[in-house]
Amino acid sequence: MQIEKHKIEAHNESLLTAHKRRFENSTADIKELNNVMRQLIDFQVAIPSWALGTGGTRFGRFSGGGEPRNLEEKMEDIGLLHSLNQSSGAISLHIPWDVPRNVASIKALAAQFGLRFDAMNSNTFQDQPGQQHSYKFGSLQHVNKAVRQQAVKHNIEVIKHGVDLGSESLTVWLADGSCFPGQLNFRKAFQNTLEGLQEIYAALPGDWKIFVEYKAFEPNFYSTTVGDWGQSLLYANKLGPKAYTLVDLGHHLPNANIEQIVSLLLMEKKLGGFHFNDSKYGDDDLTVGSIKPYQLFLIFNELVEGMDAARMNHNTDLGWMIDASHNVKDPLEDLLQSIEAIMISYAQALIVDRKALVAAQENNDVAGAQEILQDAFRTDVRAVVAEARLRSSGALQPLALFRELKVRENLIKERGLKTIATGL
């Protein structure tokens, strides 16, 4: 299903007067408004190809129907999201869940929907039918060289798919680790993993990047072989200039200060990108900003401060991706809400009075510094984000229009109630 431009224009027309009033009110005190608008319009977040169905949890799965049956329908759904918010102009593929069978037609579809291919994701955490060696005891860390070589070979195949599509980066997340004390020699596991990553690194095309995604735990784990930002940075530093760390917000131990981690990885020029989501306890992959919106703002505050200090291009110099899975929400509604939360936190970080904040910090004016930050966080920037969509021919209220046009009902008519999307 695609949404015709005239339906978006009609929607915007019906909301324009109220929007313009809200926009005037909320921008009265915003300095450098044109720069803020420019940054918001340029900012694009990649949608994961594995988060367009209702994966549920290990205990149960409750599909809402109309799920995409193949990569083409997944790109159609992401194209629909992008037509509504003009901020989802990229897709991140997971191999082998979404192998591009016909590269030419997939690239044509991407061009039609205004999508580019962001980071490719390899998968050595599941055994595929007919696979020679099992990843039961890990992949790149495995004590058996044949298993390690199989994992290296898979990652190089994923790079090839990416080159065909015009992607320029590979994300490696390893479910490698151990379930019990004594099961694993941590040093050998690290060295085997590094050796494997070095072979993958050597296969990267000149302008490509590799993102080493860390994760503290999954249920049943005693240790993970890329367990935290320190270990990921160790790998990235040992691999070379094309290797970076990837921060998935859900991959931290409770109460980790993620904004401080982000600030230091940026300082080291080793922050490659993000998997945005939110969580209450573990790797819950919940809607971005649904549980800890202040933390998300604080992370964007460090990102804007650090990227400006390093004169980085906000939109292109880091990998911006969502990594979510859906249980009780409609996957597309969930993704629309996640993009909205990201744009709101980014906009609030862009309006922080940086000069005043530096002055407060230099004078140890602790309360003053908090007031400056929370003034931005407590500023309602929703009309500013909506205006950026309006200027990009998107919808003023994407979720409302999604519902008004009965998109899910139409997808169920088109695809049926029982279709299951690959991925999470």
Exposed / middle / buried, residue 399 (Cβ in 10 Å: 0-12, 13-18, 19+): middle
Complex with ligand LRH: residue 285 or 302, whichever CB lies closer: 285
Q: Phi and psi of 117, rounded to 5°?
A: -95, 115
For residue 323, the minimal CB distance to ligand LRH (Å) is 5
Considering only residues 296-325, where is the footprint of ligand LRH by CB under 6 A? Answer: 323
Determine the Cα–Cα distance for residues 183 and 176; give it in Å rounded to an integer.
12
The residue assigned the tokens 């993620």 is 258
- Cis bond leading into 254, ω under 30°? no
Complex with ligand LRH: residue 93 or 360, whichever CB lies closer: 93
Identify the residue among 168, 285, 323, 387 touching Mn ion (CB under 5 A): 323
Identify the residue among 19, 154, 275, 314 touching Mn ion (CB under 5 A): 275
Q: Under the criterion CB under 6 A, does residue 342 sit at the interface with ligand LRH?
A: no
Complex with Mn ion: residue 158 or 407, whichever CB lies closer: 158
Determine the Cα–Cα distance for residues 84 and 422; give it in Å rounded to an integer.
24
Complex with ligand LRH: residue 12 or 277, whichever CB lies closer: 277
For residue 423, the minimal CB distance to Mn ion (Å) is 12
Considering only residues 158-187, where is the footprint of ligand LRH by CB under 6 A? Answer: 173
Complex with Mn ion: residue 82 or 275, whichever CB lies closer: 275
Q: Phi and psi of 113, rounded to 5°?
A: -95, 0
Determine the Cα–Cα distance for residues 392 and 80; give it in Å rounded to an integer.
15
Q: Under the criterion CB under 6 A, does residue 213 sit at the interface with ligand LRH?
A: yes
Name the nearest CA neighbour of 296 among 262, 270, 329.
262
For residue 141, the minimal CB distance to ligand LRH (Å) is 16
Identify the residue among 77, 248, 334, 387 touching Mn ion (CB under 5 A): 248
Complex with Mn ion: residue 323 or 387, whichever CB lies closer: 323
Exposed / middle / buried, residue 392 (Cβ in 10 Å: 0-12, 13-18, 19+): middle
Interface contacts to ligand LRH, rule CB under 6 A: 50, 121, 173, 213, 215, 248, 275, 283, 323, 424
